[in-house]
Amino acid sequence: MAYDTSKSKLTKNNMGVGLTTRDFVLFANMNDGQIFGGSVYKKINPSLECGCTLGWTASANNTTIGLGAKYQLDSEASIRAKLNNSRQLGLGYEQKLRSGITLGLAALVDMMHFNQGGHQIGISLQLEA
């Protein structure tokens, strides 16, 4: 919650609630009575994780849905994929090069406008001390 003391008025009213177990997470949120969301995450086995999100904006009557998964190839490499209802497909690969150094490659493809471009690619290098 946020309260503006100069106007003596409540300006934000956000709430979230979650449940976490060893291999399952459930979360729900509400922002100002206008934006509602929820997510579910499940660890299927030691190599595979998946999740889904659902959101709704009351003022725009807009719904969003997303699905994602991560697969651990081995102890040093993993791949990720996500897809949303705007038909955006995200793909990622992460490789541990050596202790403390991880390389990441990612792409976001707009499947709705595949021939028009606007796709994104990225690279990351994570260094740990």
Residue 15, C-beta contacts closer than 8 angstroms, at least 6 positions apart: 29, 30
Task: Give the pair of three-digit tokens for residue 89.
Answer: 């497909």
Q: Is the domain of 53 the same as that of 83?
A: no
Alpha-carbon gap, residue 47 to 78, rounded angstroms: 9
- For residue 54, the cross-strand partners are 38, 65
pLDDT digits (tens, 9 = 90+) for 75-119: 999 999 999 999 999 999 999 999 999 999 999 999 988 888 889
pLDDT digits (tens, 9 = 90+) for 32-83: 889 999 999 999 999 999 999 999 999 999 999 999 999 999 999 999 999 9
Strands (E) in 32-61, as ranges, are 35-45, 48-57
In the chain, the number of structural domains is 2
Q: Tell me, what's the pLDDT at 124?
A: 97
Evaluate whether 25 touches 18 at the Cβ level (below 8 Å). Answer: yes
Q: Is the domain of 58 the same as that of 92?
A: no
* Residue 63 included in any domain: yes
Give yes or no for residue 26 having a pLDDT over 90. yes
Q: Tell me, what's the pLDDT at 12?
A: 86
